[in-house]
């Protein structure tokens, strides 16, 4: 069990700056997701925490001890790689016990420990099987067994489910999360999949181009994205963005453009110039009475809901509405935006303006 804190962590590869002054804290026992698109620096961040890469500058603390320049072997962590490499010539029991045997643990103790881990993972019946013929699920469980058998302070996982097909991936994600809940060990998990991050994580760091864009619990990140990048990256379909030039006053509770006025959460600071109003598809409602208009260009049936795409004067907008609502492609309708759920962004910096509703939840690391 461990708290992990990183402070202004930076990594350069030659003249390329892969991680830029990242700062965040992973609390003891958390399931913590490092999320971002390919190349954003999440693997490099994890590798620095694990001691497989050394920072160019900044600090890493595990349980208060600065470990930035210590090798992985001195950090008491377990790294679970995407390619679950098992020793092919050993059976399941020997694969799992290997880390303990190489530490010189006594045989009786090793047997007891392996039995305990096999019980946790539900693989008691395959302990004496060769690993060669195992299903991919069982291979993953064996690899996890080898990681948890040492009782490390923390688990680091880099896209561990990346190679699996969608259905099995979902199943293993649930299993991993349940395993974490039983063991309560701090887990840091790298993924580029926002659904996986939302589904599994207690907290999420969203990275882009080496920068921590936001850090918080999934609901904060979904409801109150700190940047336009986060708003677009999280959620499917992504948040809609209406770009406009205008002014929003200090303590404003509405904003006007395109001949319409939208109620918004109270803005703590004013702004003027290029602005963006962000709204998630489920907070767009179609109503003939609404003044802001759009033309329906597509409707995609998804079972209980449908995604309706509208052309507006400020760009396309997607609405997620109940599938029983009748819509006619080609017709014009009004759009009502849920006033409690709107986020305003400074279009130049891409940062969310602070509103009374999101005060305290925006974090730029
Ligand atoms: P992916 O999911 O594609 O691995 P990532 O977010 O995990 O993406 P990193 O692997 O951390 O990204 O890489 C961040 C950037 O640093 C990338 O542009 C990558 O090419 C670069 N990089 C990573 N390792 C090295 C290295 N050893 N030498 C030079 N550049 C590197």
User: Per-residue pLDDT averaged across 322-339, rounded?
Assistant: 95
Q: Which is the closest atom of ligand 1 to the Cα of 46?
A: 11
User: Per-residue pLDDT averaged across 65-80, rounded?
Assistant: 89
* 39 CB within 6 A, ligand 1: yes
For 20-68, the pLDDT digits (tens) are 999 999 999 999 999 999 999 999 999 999 999 999 999 999 999 999 9
Domain ranges of the chain: 4-223, 238-362
* 334 CB within 6 A, ligand 1: no
CATH of 4-223, picked from 3.40.50.1370, 3.40.50.300, 1.10.3720.10, 3.40.50.80, is 3.40.50.300
Q: Rounded to the nearest 10 degrees, what angle do helices 136-148 and 92-102 cross at?
A: 20
Mean pLDDT of the chain: 92
pTM for the predicted model, two decimal places: 0.89
* 205 CB within 6 A, ligand 1: no
270 C-alpha to center of ligand 1: Å?
38
Task: Name the residue at shortest CA distance from atom 17 of ligand 1.
Answer: 39
* 18 CB within 6 A, ligand 1: yes
CATH fourth-level superfamily of 238-362: Nucleic acid-binding proteins (2.40.50.140)
Q: Which is the closest atom of ligand 1 to the Cα of 40?
A: 6
* 40 CB within 6 A, ligand 1: yes
Q: Which is the closest atom of ligand 1 to the Cα of 41?
A: 11
Q: 365: pLDDT confidence band, cut at 50, 70 and 90?
A: very low
């Amino acid at each position: 069990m461990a708290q992990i804190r990183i402070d202004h962590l930076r990594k350069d590869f030659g003249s390329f700056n892969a991680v830029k002054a990242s700062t965040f804290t992973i609390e003891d026992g958390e399931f913590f997701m490092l999320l971002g698109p390919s190349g954003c620096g999440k693997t490099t961040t994890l590798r620095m925490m694990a001691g497989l890469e050394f920072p160019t500058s900044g600090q890493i603390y595990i349980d208060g001890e600065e470990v930035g320049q210590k090798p992985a072997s001195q950090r008491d962590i377990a790294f679970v790689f995407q390619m679950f490499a098992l020793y092919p010539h050993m059976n399941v029991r020997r694969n799992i016990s290997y880390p303990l045997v190489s530490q010189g643990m006594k045989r009786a103790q090793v047997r007891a420990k392996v039995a305990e881990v096999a019980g946790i993972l539900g693989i008691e019946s395959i302990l004496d099987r060769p690993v060669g013929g195992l299903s991919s699920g069982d291979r993953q469980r064996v690899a996890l067994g080898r990681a948890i058998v040492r009782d490390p302070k923390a688990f680091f996982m880099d896209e561990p489910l990346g190679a699996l097909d969608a259905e099995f991936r979902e199943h293993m994600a649930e299993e991993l999360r349940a395993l974490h809940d039983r063991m309560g060990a701090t887990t840091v998990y790298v993924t580029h999949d926002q659904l996986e991050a939302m589904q599994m994580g207690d907290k999420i760091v969203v990275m882009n181009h080496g920068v921590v864009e936001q850090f918080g619990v999934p609901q904060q990140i979904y409801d109150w994205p700190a940047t336009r990048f986060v708003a677009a990256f999280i959620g499917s379909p992504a948040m809609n963005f209406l770009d406009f030039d205008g002014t929003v006053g200090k303590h404003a509770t509405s904003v006007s453009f395109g001949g319409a006025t939208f109620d918004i959460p109270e803005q703590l600071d004013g702004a003027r110039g290029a602005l963006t109003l962000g709204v998630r598809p489920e907070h767009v409602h179609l109503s003939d009475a609404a003044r802001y208009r759009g033309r329906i260009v597509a409707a995609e049936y998804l079972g209980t809901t449908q995604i309706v795409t509208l052309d507006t004067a400020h760009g396309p907008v997607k609405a997620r509405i109940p599938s029983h609502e009748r819509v006619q492609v080609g017709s014009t309708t009004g759009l009502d935006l849920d006033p409690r759920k709107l986020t305003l962004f400074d279009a130049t910096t891409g940062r969310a303006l602070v509103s009374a509703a999101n005060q305290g939840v925006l974090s730029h690391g």
